[in-house]
Structure 1
Amino acid sequence: MTATAPTTTRAFGVDLITFFDPGFWGLSGSEELEALAAAEPRRVWDTILDALQEAGVAELEMTFPPADRLTAIAAYGSAEAFSAELERRGLSVVSAYFAEIEHAEDVTDPATRAAILAAAETEAAFLAGIGASFLVAGLPMRRNNAEGDGLAPVDLATAAPIADIANEVGAITKRHGVTLALHTESHSVFWTPRDVDLFLLLTDPFLVAFCPDTGHIVLGGETRSSSSRATVSGSSSRTGRTPPAPSASTRSWTRASGSGTARTSAPQARASSTGPRSRRRSPGSATRAASCWSSTPPPTRSGSSSRPAPTWRTPPPASSDPPPPPRVDRRTTTTRRE
């Protein structure tokens, strides 16, 4: 009897930064792509949307220019016309990247905060108008590294004002029916499992969700997954070496995507945090993240032995008592038992 392949109703989506390779356009550099988008935004967006349709990709995430809101409106004249072009091709926008928090020099500055909140209002209204669900945000870059250069630890004092602005942005987007999701980013304050713990503790689960990116997480040197607040996830290809990392090994990660699996490889190293922008940890957190991604068991490092499971991770003995009623997790709108 012939085995049938597993099927799924889940859509496969891509971040439009995929189209930023100048070679796709027959160009020699990013400056030429920027010039093309400024001169012929309709040509750029038509090419992107047609390529997605031809590849069978149904969903997309908008990102930096030229794959952003302003260029799309310049191409089609309005958000409504852009939405019609998507619908004509059977495409939909799921999310857009929001870089204003990440790029802010000082989130406590009143003018900076006002600009971030105004941008969030505009972006959320646009996303709601085209039927998108998430605004994905990165957080600021770290100002220290593993070698101790720069005494700027990501502590409570550092994290609190960033979490505050994230909560405010989340409150704005919620009013439009759009959810803010924090994206793990290499070299940022939201990178390692401990960073994720810290910021998910400080942000309101009703306002702020989680967008784990496996490639960035592996670059941080940690592989534990995170929480039930995961709503949309990314799988970035990270094949380059993050300095200094002289002996980085490679780990293979997978996550569900459409009818198959998206696989990425990334160097496993606790690397310096001074590199350019490349685009948690609690009992039971790994199981709570299962809806986000799954990973193949990472290889044991040479010369090391597997760490025994802590005693607090040992499952409790079976009980004859009836199980507790299912609880609805408001962060992922899925029902699970604890």
Structure 2
Amino acid sequence: MPQISSEPQYGVDLVTFYHPGFWGVSTAEEMVAWCAQHPREMWERMLDALAEAGVPWIELTFPPLDFRSALAAFGSVDGVLEAFGARGVRVLSGFLNGTHWGGLSPQEAVAEVAEYAAFLRGTGAGILVLGTPMLAGGPDAPVPAMTADEHRRLLGHLAGVCDAVGASLAEAGIRLAVHTESHSVTVTAEDVRTLMALTDPELVGLCPDSAHLTLSGQDPVALAREFADRVLVSHWKDAAGPFPADLVLDEDVHAVHRRFMRPMGQGVVDWPAWAAVMATTPTAGVRLLELDAAPDPVAELRAARAVAEGLAPVAG
């Protein structure tokens, strides 16, 4: 990842482009179907939008804008690099849905990430961001309710899996960073402290998400400061505040989360404090913006970047 001494560069997690309206359809199901049928048109439309927004770095994510669809669109890693390079786009990181990792052995997890890691290495990306098992909410919640002891045992198992995967990724020059997702096993400060204590700091880092930590009643600035040396990348996203105490997960958990996300600068995240902490971390060179399923991603990215550009520059 670049280390920039003055003005930071900007990136975006591609989940930002997952609003059906951006693709001219009405539902998420229609969006996924259209994208699967038109992978090259999908990627070119998104890349053109990035160029228009002036955001050169990306974090790949789960389908449809995943690494396999990029290969389907452009034929090979070289083809991907050519298409990305023509628009000035570079790959910073890749997100992996690891909601099922509570049931994987270390060997199974290492095998699962191998193809992704090869793609990331080929594109020059240096970080794999891991989404961990969910505890509640719809089809992405394979983990049943558990006691505190069961929760700790799951974190212990996950730590062993993460160390094994981190070691395999290190051979390709890639670092593993654990994401802090609402309603997951790694969103509270205690969760993060436990996992960080049980894992090798040379192999496993952290991807704090300012919105998800806020929604879960955590202090994102304090947590990022505590683990600043392990923050490999971070998601810059705003939120309305902690979830209501009577929150009902009445649909897919991620759809519920989006109800409480806010455009950058219109929520409660302390952006000056967040930027100051991020300037002390290995992620200082790039500010990775994330706007879950933005209806107008170009306009919203420009607006988010304008807010971020008003913050203090990266320390030298």
User: What is the TM-score normalised by the length of structure 2?
Assistant: 0.71
Give the whole-Å Cα distance in 1 for the aligned partners of 2:69 and 2:45: 13
- CA spacing shift, 1:89–1:151, aligned 2, 3 Å: closer
The one-letter amino acid of 1:135's match is L
Is 1:157 paired with 2:153?
yes
Is 1:53–1:90's contact at 8 Å kept on the other side of the alignment? yes
Give the whole-Å Cα distance in 1 for the aligned partners of 2:277 and 2:17: 33
In structure 2, the residue matched to 1:180 is: 176
In structure 1, the residue matched to 2:233 is: 232
In structure 1, the residue matched to 2:112 is: 119
The one-letter amino acid of 2:108's match is A
Is 1:211–1:232's contact at 8 Å kept on the other side of the alignment? yes
- The correspondence of residues 123-272 of structure 1 with structure 2, limited to 5 A, is 123-142=116-135, 150-153=145-148, 155-223=151-219, 224-225=222-223, 226-227=226-227, 228-239=229-240, 242=243, 244-245=245-246, 263=265, 265=267
Q: 1:75 aligns with which of 61, 73, 77?
A: 73
CA-to-aligned-CA distance 1:7-63 (integer Å, 9 cap, x gap):
943210000001000011121011111111111100000000010011110101000
Give the whole-Å Cα distance in 1 for the aligned partners of 2:160 and 2:172: 19
Is 1:235–1:264's contact at 8 Å kept on the other side of the alignment? no
The answer for unaligned runs of 5 or more in structure 1 is: 1-6, 247-252, 254-260, 268-286, 295-334
The total of aligned residue pairs comes to: 253
- The correspondence of residues 39-50 of structure 1 with structure 2, limited to 5 A, is 39-50=37-48
Is 1:215–1:264's contact at 8 Å kept on the other side of the alignment? no
Q: Please provide the CA RMSD for this pair.
A: 3.4
Is 2:207–2:231's contact at 8 Å kept on the other side of the alignment? yes
- CA spacing shift, 1:40–1:152, aligned 2, 3 Å: same
Task: Tell me by how many angstroms 1:78 deviates.
Answer: 0.9
Is 2:216–2:243's contact at 8 Å kept on the other side of the alignment? no
- CA spacing shift, 1:120–1:151, aligned 2, 3 Å: closer
Identity %: 37
Give the whole-Å Cα distance in 2 for the aligned partners of 1:151 and 1:65: 30
Compare CA radii of gyration and give the structure with the larger one: 1
Give the whole-Å Cα distance in 2 for the aligned partners of 1:243 and 1:103: 27
The one-letter amino acid of 2:65's match is A
Q: Aligned to 2:265, what secondary structure does the other structure show? A: strand
User: What is the TM-score normalised by the length of structure 1?
Assistant: 0.67
In structure 2, the residue matched to 1:58 is: 56
CA-to-aligned-CA distance 1:302-326 (integer Å, 9 cap, x gap):
xxxxxxxxxxxxxxxxxxxxxxxxx
In structure 2, the residue matched to 1:325 is: none
Give the whole-Å Cα distance in 2 for the aligned partners of 1:189 and 1:262: 26
Is 1:106 paired with 2:106?
no
The one-letter amino acid of 1:233's match is S
Is 2:217–2:242's contact at 8 Å kept on the other side of the alignment? no
Q: 1:32 aligns with which of 30, 33, 44?
A: 30
The one-letter amino acid of 1:220's match is S
- CA spacing shift, 1:174–1:118, aligned 2, 3 Å: same
CA-to-aligned-CA distance 1:279-313 (integer Å, 9 cap, x gap):
xxxxxxxx97663599xxxxxxxxxxxxxxxxxxx
* Greater fraction helix: 2
Is 1:219–1:266's contact at 8 Å kept on the other side of the alignment? no
The answer for unaligned runs of 5 or more in structure 2 is: 138-143, 248-260, 270-275, 285-314
- CA spacing shift, 1:171–1:23, aligned 2, 3 Å: same
Is 2:127–2:176's contact at 8 Å kept on the other side of the alignment? yes
